[in-house]
Structure 1
Amino acid sequence: MHLNLAYLTAEALLAGQPQRWAHSQRVLQQAQRLAPMLGSDGDLVIVSAILHDIGYAEPAVDTGQHMIDGARYLARLGTDAAICSLVAYHSSSAWEAEELGLADALADFRPPPPPLLDAITFCDLTSAPDGSLVEAGPRLDEVLQRYGPDHVVHRAVSAARPTLLAMAERIERRLTHFPDQPMNGSASARNP
């Protein structure tokens, strides 16, 4: 799927969820900044970034786990399997799928290469719900506060937290070798 089509798809699906759309645009912006260090996989992460939360949109909802639902929706559209994989596995998906008894549904998608999963997870964890930049630790704290301790997302993020922070740290270390890619929000996401 080309970025233009991905952007329009996400925009249409998330039109009724302005905060989630703002978040998705920031995730896209973060992916655009990471692209130079991802080489030929940069475009894959960029397209996956704008689509990563479409599983929250009513037409995509199936299992109730937005990562799997988004990936399934994209697969029905004939989207490249690598994009579906990144959407399916981003952030705490594996832990959440386990909590929900959806590990088999997640396994319908091939796990993405770790460096690409690190990248999309970093982009998600450094993008606040309102589209502002945030560090990974405070972002995870915000998620835990939003969902009470008995909620599946709270349990999954609590279990995943050390791994998620390690993923973000790996990307931050790689960014030190790409000094021309500031993560300070100076550029803005744009409609491609």
Structure 2
Amino acid sequence: MSDQLTSWARAVAESELAEPLPRRWAHTQGVADRAGHLEGVLGDRAGLLVSAAVLHDVGYAPRLAATGFHPLDGARFLRDVHGADGRLTRLVANHSFALLEAEERGLRDELEAEFPLLENQFLVDALVWCDMTTTPHGSPTTAEARVAEILGRYGAESLVGRFIRRAAPEIFAAVARVKAELVAQPR
């Protein structure tokens, strides 16, 4: 089942992102690659993580940008058009502390009502680790460098800049938790 899910997710993400947003598609592929490194600590949840990783930014696709908030637009698309699994849509909707950005946009109540956070904190942390340790071009990086890159791209006082500054301590904590699990994992 997880191989089918990841194949489907890759096909959907590629069809929505590869042509109109090649850099976003490169980032997405890098995030999915990072997710593959967590198979040993996730076991049977690895397919779900890889699928969420490859779909996390699908809401950036120009034809899907209804609200302009990609986690919500992407999760709605996956739910409404594809009938995607609720765990998958909730991961996409809440990736990388999206609730904080939703709050900045006045969409927090909507996001929470439609896509409540998953109870599995490690799975949520794992997606943060994948996203926030991957550059816009798809290469591995540190969470600190990624946050600095986002601030530089958007500006500290922009909506995204305010969000990322608020989210940074949570991002760094999530990344640290995943790193600790990776270190503890027997080779």
For the aligned pair, the TM-score class normalised by the smaller chain equals: over 0.9
CA distance in 2, matches of 1:171, 1:87: 18
| Equivalence for 2:116 | 110
CA distance in 2, matches of 1:71, 1:11: 16
Q: Which among 79, 85, 96 is matched to residue 84 of structure 2?
A: 79
SS at match of 1:82: helix
CA distance in 2, matches of 1:133, 1:179: 22
| Equivalence for 2:5 | 2
Give the CA deviation at 1:92: 3.0
Q: Which among 53, 57, 77 is matched to residue 53 of structure 1?
A: 57
Give the CA deviation at 1:177: 2.0
Amino acid at match of 1:90: H
Give the CA deviation at 1:46: 0.8
Q: Which among 77, 88, 113 is matched to residue 93 of structure 2?
A: 88
Q: Which has the higher helix share?
A: 2
Farther-moved stretch of structure 1 (136-145 vs 106-115): 106-115
Give the CA deviation at 1:159: 0.5
* Structural mapping, 1:159-174, within 5 Å: 159-174=166-181
CA distance in 1, matches of 2:133, 2:30: 9
Amino acid at match of 1:109: F
Query: Once superposed, which parts of structure 1, at least 4 consecutive aligned residues long, lie more than 3 Å away?
Result: none
Uncovered stretches (5+) of structure 2, i.e. residues with no partner: none
2:43 aligned with 1:35, yes or no? no
2:24 aligned with 1:17, yes or no? no
Aligned residues of 2:79 and 2:85 also touching (Cα < 8 A): yes
Identity %, equivalent residues: 40
Give the CA deviation at 1:33: 0.8
Q: Which among 154, 159, 163 is matched to residue 156 of structure 1?
A: 163
Uncovered stretches (5+) of structure 1, i.e. residues with no partner: 181-192
| Equivalence for 1:184 | none
Aligned residues of 1:35 and 1:46 also touching (Cα < 8 A): no
Q: Which among 143, 147, 160 is matched to residue 150 of structure 2?
A: 143
Aligned residues of 2:10 and 2:55 also touching (Cα < 8 A): yes
Give the CA deviation at 1:162: 0.4
Number of residue pairs matched by the alignment: 180
SS at match of 1:163: helix
CA deviation vs aligned residue, 1:92-149 (integer Å, no higher than 9, x gap): 3111000011012211112022111100010001110011110111100000110112
| Equivalence for 1:189 | none
| Equivalence for 1:185 | none
CA distance in 2, matches of 1:126, 1:85: 21
CA distance in 2, matches of 1:179, 1:68: 37
Give me the TM-score of the superposition, normalised by structure 1: 0.90
CA deviation vs aligned residue, 1:62-85 (integer Å, no higher than 9, x gap): 111111111111011100000000
Give the CA deviation at 1:179: 5.5
Which structure's relative contact order is higher, taking Cα pairs within 8 Å and 6+ residues apart? Answer: 1
